[in-house]
Each structure stands twice: as C-alpha cells, then as structure tokens.
Amino acid sequence: MTSGRVSSGKLAEIGKDIAKAKKLLEEGLLVGIPTETVYGLAGNALRADAVTRIFDTKNRPHFDPLIVHVAPHRPLDNLVARLPAQARQLADALWPGPLTLLLEKTPVIPSLVTSGLDAVAIRCPDHPLAQQLLAELDFPLAAPSANPFGYVSPTTAQHVEDQLGKSIPYILDGGPCKVGIESTIVGFDNGGHPVIHRLGGISLEKIEQIAGHARLQINHSSNPSAPGQLQSHYAPRKKLLLGDLDVLIAAHAEESVALLTFRNHYAAVAMDHQIMLSPTGNLEEAAQRLFDALRKLDQMPVDLILAEEVPQTGLGRAINDRLHRAASN
C-alpha cells in the first residue's frame, strides 16, 4: 500500500481552494481542514487506504478511533444503524457544532475508522469552509486533529504546517478556530440515555438541558471506547505540572519555568514567561486560547511549564480535562 506522506520535503500549500482540496481527497490523499474546534487531518472515511494514511501520518495508534465528519442535513442512514430519540434531539439542537455522537455503525464504515468497535463517532462541523467541502464530496471525512499523535491540537493553519507540512499536500485555511477545544462526545446506553465519553466544546449543562441527565464516562486509559480518551494526550513536549501555582512556583524556584494561568499574573516569574488564558475570567475565551498558549509555552527556553485549573463549570470541565491529560506526559 502506498504511503500518504509527501516525500519531496516541500511544505504543504496553504489556501482556500475547495476544488483543490476536493480533488486531493477524491484521490485518497489527506488535507488539513478547519473546523470550529481544531484543525483536522482529513481523508475519505470510506476508503481504508486513506484512513491508514491518517494513522501513519499522525503516528497514531490503530486502537484510537477516529471521528467521521458529515455535511449538514446529509442523511446518516448509510453510516449508522439507528439513531436513538435523544441522539436526534441533540443533533437537531446542536448540529452543526462541537458535538460528536457515538452511534452503532453500518458495514460501510471501515473497522479501521472505529478501531474495531461497533460504534462510530460522527459530527457535523460548524465551519463554512468545512461545510462547503463536505457538501462537494460524496463521502464523509475521517478527520482527527492535524498534529502528531499526543501533541497539542492545532487551532490555525500555520500550526498544521509547522507539524505536518512535509507530510500532506494541502491545508485549507479557515482562520483561527473559534471554539479551540475538541468536540464533546456523547454516546447512549441501552435505554437511549446520554453518556458523555469526552468533555468538549458543548458543556455538560447544555447536553442535559436538551436530553436530560447525562452520565459521565470519561476514561483515562490505553483502551479507549471513543476518540480522545487516552490518559496522556494534548501534551506539550516539555513537562507540565498542574496545581496551585504559588506552591508550584516555590517548589521549583531553582528551575526555569513558564506559567499558564487562568486570569492572574504572578510576580515571582518574569512576565514574558507567563500566558493568561482570560483576563476577564471568560471560559469560552480560555478554551479558544488554550492550545495556542500551550504551543507558545512549549517553545519558551524553560525547563518546566506550570499550570493551574480553571473553574470546574461549563467549558471549564473540558479545559481541565485537557490540562490533566497534558500533565500526564
């Protein structure tokens, strides 16, 4: 089987050419695409060779399933065996948007996409370029985050080029991602009630407002039942420690550190070694800035990154989830 990597050493072209992206995807190649959450590494979800290229290009283990992206209002009948009533309620209310539904798949979805599991993760992205591209294609796109496996997710086209620019031919540039963290993944138990497998861009409160009580099943394991559940994930290369920043700063006073703070500066550390997620304490702003901040901190000439949790409410739960996984590196 041929590789999807670009071997010429040239960087990927960045642009807004939907027709070019469509042609490459129809040829079984990979394209970086924008969504409202993070940039995705997209390939034809119904072609096993294209899906294999995704895993190879990201160096992603084959036991970690992918999310399938569909166009708005495109029927799901050929992709999923059934759509529980509460799944339909959530899709009607929150698609397009940062919601992924975990549903029983049909045989048309290659087992490689779901890592051999019976359920496929599906969502409809809320980004005009992604929607336009999907509407032009006669197949859905498998599209995990467009970065090397386990590293900080990309929220700009330049992030994608910095990490995968020599491995793919084209990146569709849709500007900075407006949500900035991955989608919330919701499955359903035998009674059709929602089960949250990954916290993300839709809050727990919003899910429950629409579909009733939702059970949390947030795994941190090496045997994921849905995408984005591995214990160490979304991580910078540098060691990240999470906790009370006053305590951490004192404990590492002899080391060179950088800080990721929610809304405060700390006098004990140089200002140019601190990034504040939201001076006003806005959790949506903090989520949008999280991954870009982690990348910038990772590039600083320091030994350690010290970080603190944000309030554990709304999108704060998803931000803290990413911080805890980043601290497991």
DSSP letters, 153-191, are PP-SHHHHHHHHTTT-SEEE---S-SS-SPPEEEEE-TT
Residues 212 and 133 in one domain: yes
* Residue 22 DSSP SS3: helix
Amino acid at 174: G
Residues 207 and 262 in one domain: no
Between CA 244 and CA 202, with CA 283 as vertex, the angle to 5 degrees is 120
Residues 173 and 306 in one domain: no
pLDDT greater than 60 at residue 108: yes
Q: Indicate left, alpha or beta for 206 from its phi (over 0: left) and psi (-120 to 50: alpha).
A: alpha
308 contact partners, CB below 8 Å, separation of at least 6: 242, 243, 244, 245, 260, 261, 262
Domain extent for 84? 13-216
Q: What is the pLDDT of residue 7?
A: 43
pLDDT greater than 50 at residue 4: no
Q: Report the distance separating Cα 13 and Cα 316, nearest Å.
A: 35
Lowest mean pLDDT among 109-118, 167-176, 210-219, 247-256: 210-219
Is residue 82 included in any domain, yes or no? yes
Task: Check if the beta carbon of residue 12 is closer than 8 Å to that of residue 128.
Answer: no
Is residue 8 included in any domain, yes or no? no
313 contact partners, CB below 8 Å, separation of at least 6: 283
* Residue 257 DSSP SS3: strand
pLDDT greater than 70 at residue 249: yes
Q: What is the mean pLDDT of the chain?
A: 93
Q: How confident is the model at residue 10 (pLDDT cuts 50, 70, 90)?
A: confident
**What CATH number is attached to the domain comprising 55?**
3.90.870.10
Residues 125 and 161 in one domain: yes
Is residue 63 included in any domain, yes or no? yes
Residues 57 and 186 in one domain: yes
Task: Check if the beta carbon of residue 54 is closer than 8 Å to that of residue 3.
Answer: no
Largest pairwise CA distance in the chain = 60
Task: Check if the beta carbon of residue 248 is closer than 8 Å to that of residue 266.
Answer: no
Q: Report the distance separating Cα 110 and Cα 48, nearest Å.
A: 6
Is residue 2 included in any domain, yes or no? no
Is residue 221 included in any domain, yes or no? no
pLDDT greater than 60 at residue 221: no
Residues 282 and 176 in one domain: no
User: For 277, what's the count of Cα atoms within 13 Å in the CB-facing half-sphere?
Assistant: 28
**What CATH number is attached to the domain comprising 285?**
3.40.50.11030
Q: How confident is the model at residue 224 (pLDDT cuts 50, 70, 90)?
A: low
Task: Check if the beta carbon of residue 207 is closer than 8 Å to that of residue 184.
Answer: yes
Is residue 139 included in any domain, yes or no? yes
Residues 69 and 203 in one domain: yes
7 contact partners, CB below 8 Å, separation of at least 6: none
Please give the average per-residue pLDDT across 105-118, as a whole number.
Answer: 96
Q: Which of 114, 97, 284 is nearest to 184 (CA)?
A: 97
Is residue 5 included in any domain, yes or no? no
Residues 125 and 209 in one domain: yes
Q: What is the pLDDT of residue 1?
A: 32
Supply the angle between the helices 85-94 and 204-211 in degrees, to the nearest 10. 120
Please give the average per-residue pLDDT across 68-79, as a whole number.
Answer: 93
Q: Where are the alpha helices (DSSP H) in the chain?
A: 18-26, 48-58, 85-94, 128-136, 157-164, 204-211, 245-251, 283-298, 316-326
187 contact partners, CB below 8 Å, separation of at least 6: 101, 102, 103, 119, 194, 195, 197, 217, 225, 226
Residues 157 and 35 in one domain: yes
Is residue 6 included in any domain, yes or no? no
What is the tally of structural domains in the chain?
2
Residues 209 and 79 in one domain: yes
pLDDT greater than 50 at residue 138: yes
pLDDT greater than 50 at residue 206: yes
Residues 125 and 88 in one domain: yes
Residues 203 and 271 in one domain: no
End of a domain among 164, 184, 216?
Answer: 216
